[in-house]
Structure 1
């Protein structure tokens, strides 16, 4: 939830029912990649021990995709992010959680929240995954969030509702999309080594890839360009840096080229 709409402050607990759709929300699985680990951006609301995905309600003036982008941009501080809708989630009891109560919201907001408040109704959530370069993100919560930070997907904390299932489903989708979507381009820095891109694909797919065949495919297709620069590494030979040829990369994806088998 953001703080402003048309330059006026909106408190979702007081007048949110006037500005947001009921019974449908969006949640973003924001992926980053750092030190050979795939990470996801999570937030923890005030007064709660459990963590949750960045998400929120859909304004009556925007599309579902616009809502997902607004929320992702607010949490990362970045624009022009890569987003993909991957699934919807809905069961009658999915928003029931011992930590998510009218009493807690009343305490945090200073507003008396009734037991039949609209936020406790049956909500369907539309799931998006977002890809971004880890080093560029400045995690940022909103006025109800106590913390907002990266977590390795292999070491996730206790989470509210069905948000753990959402992350698992987003990761499954990412592993399918990695063959024909610009996953590497979005998660790696502008300049990277062959070892970096090889490790990224192994991390996402969670399996070993033949280094020689993978590198050969990258180089022969011309989707990456070797630069006249080397990465300085302590105690190692300095490997050459590469960058994507974006036009060739996008053309290869359109032609359904497969980098790994």
Structure 2
């Protein structure tokens, strides 16, 4: 026969536990098995495989905003048919040298908003690459082989940590558009005269000196120098009188724009500006 004191002791114990406010735990949460814990990882791999399978058919691999910390090794299977890779808005800090150089048919590579600090020399193997977009990374320089990207037309390196205008760019004969805004460039050297670009964006740097050679750029039509550290006396007048430049943007420097209009050669610049404006009207 059960002792009469047992229910009383049980009730007293329950009261003490309630006073101690021991949190209740749903019993189902205690039964989570290992396969259930790893299901998320399996779903991630499954999604990646789906992207790879789609890219095999389309030639386009796009995987943005996924928190990736490294270049997907699964792309090894696609080196012979990918035309476009977009891995923007991830956390990738390097490109695998042995893999990146194998995408010999690649035309567009985008890794905006990642954590890249260096680019491998093997990048130069991408002889068909036309568009390279690496905005908002941590690049301080370009590899010495960068000038071998012979098909490159558009280069975007805004929001990096470049301290100089990379001389390798002057070897790129088909380069049309260069965006080096929001870097740490302090001057434009004589080598700029060999640049083949049509548009050069150097907004929001620290530029205080510009070589007169910039007026020798054979195709340069648009030059953006807004929000730099330029005195009017450091702006070569040949940009106005003897260049092909038809759009010069210099707002936000250390002089008033109305002073620019007083410089010799400004009338010639305005003729080019007006002619271009009419052409595209």
Q: Same fold (TM over 0.5)?
A: no
**Structure 1 or 2: more helix by fraction:** 2
**Structure 1 or 2: more strand by fraction:** 1
- Bigger Rg, which one: 2
